[in-house]
């Protein structure tokens, strides 16, 4: 549902003006733009409700992906900077964006390779899954994924000012502790090598905040880089979570999410006498209403 092609995704202004939202049922959410840029202070891959349904805190801002295939490298991210620059311009490689079971799905075309990316949250948990699947390729591709993190109220913005977070090894990845007593953020990916980092990216420009007349610049910490090789047809899933033991298997997690959406639609179809004759877009509204 709601497919967008290159006429939208290839135009940064148009792609940035369209936004997506995922929720976990306890007050947490993930949100962003089709372009992949951050346009609001509320955009991020994990805004966790640390005191459900309140205490919403931005913990994971975004992932920056680089795909290497056939001797060529593509930067798939997109950012608008305080300088006015847009870099990188990964939106130009988005062949298609759509919603599947209410979940945002991007398809990137890099030469003859197609890479799919989807984002969803675990119901009832402060856990976000970001899954990458190499739909088509003649050989394995290398995928490097930088994790940008934070620890702030979702109404605020950040200035780094020498802030140093603690990044430690953990089974399956890394764990980030923003300061003593902070809720820990787990960055995990089965089948990938996790490399800790400690580099602030300063000056993200938040275009929608500027329109509201509010502080429109933000800083985020590059805390980790995941290195993975993905074979044609295979996938790698990155988890961003505050849970002590989140479920690591991305394929199983996606089936849980798909079943959840199917069960919701089934309940609606049972309750709504006109469901059988309703146009397809009404089902999208049912999922969105959740």
* Ordered domains of the chain (ranges, CATH): 6-249 (2.70.98)
57-116 pLDDT, tens digit each: 999 999 999 999 999 999 999 999 999 999 999 999 999 999 998 999 999 999 999 999
200-241 pLDDT, tens digit each: 999 999 999 999 999 999 999 999 999 999 999 999 999 999
In terms of phi and psi (left: phi > 0; alpha: psi -120 to 50; beta: otherwise), the region of 27 is left
Is pLDDT above 90 for 287?
yes
Is pLDDT above 80 for 129?
yes
The pLDDT assigned to 238 comes to 98
CB atoms within 10 A of CB 35: 31
Band of the pLDDT at 277, cuts 50, 70, 90?
Answer: confident
The pLDDT assigned to 276 comes to 82
In terms of phi and psi (left: phi > 0; alpha: psi -120 to 50; beta: otherwise), the region of 181 is left
User: Which residues 6+ apart lie within 8 Å of 101 measured at CB?
Assistant: 257, 258, 261, 262, 287
pTM of the model: 0.96
The pLDDT assigned to 243 comes to 97
């Amino acid at each position: 549902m709601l497919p967008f092609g290159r006429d939208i995704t290839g135009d940064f202004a148009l792609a940035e003006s369209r936004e997506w939202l995922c929720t976990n049922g306890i007050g947490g959410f993930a949100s962003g733009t089709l372009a992949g840029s951050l346009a609001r202070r509320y955009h991020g891959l994990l805004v966790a409700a640390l005191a459900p349904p309140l205490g919403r805190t931005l913990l994971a801002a975004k992932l920056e992906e680089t795909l290497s295939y056939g001797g060529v490298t593509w930067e798939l991210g997109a950012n608008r900077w305080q300088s006015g620059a847009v870099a990188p311009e990964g939106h130009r490689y988005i062949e298609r964006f759509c919603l599947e079971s209410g979940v945002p799905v991007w398809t990137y075309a890099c030469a003859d390779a197609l890479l799919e990316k989807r984002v969803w949250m675990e119901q009832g948990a402060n856990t976000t899954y970001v899954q990458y699947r190499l739909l088509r390729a003649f050989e394995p591709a290398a995928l490097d994924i930088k994790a940008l993190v934070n620890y702030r109220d979702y109404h605020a913005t950040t200035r780094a000012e020498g802030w140093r977070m603690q990044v430690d090894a953990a089974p399956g990845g890394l764990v980030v502790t923003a300061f003593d007593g902070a809720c820990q953020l787990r960055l995990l990916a089965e089948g990938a090598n996790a490399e800790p980092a400690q580099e602030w990216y300063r000056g993200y420009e938040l275009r929608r905040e500027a329109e509201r007349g509010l502080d429109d610049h933000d800083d985020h910490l590059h805390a980790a880089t995941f290195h993975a090789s993905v074979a044609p047809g295979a996938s790698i899933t990155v988890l961003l979570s505050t849970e002590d033991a989140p479920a690591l298997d991305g394929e199983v997690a996606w089936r849980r999410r798909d079943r959840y959406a199917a069960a919701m639609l089934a309940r609606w179809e049972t309750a709504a006498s006109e469901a059988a004759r309703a146009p397809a877009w009404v089902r999208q509204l049912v999922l969105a209403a959740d």
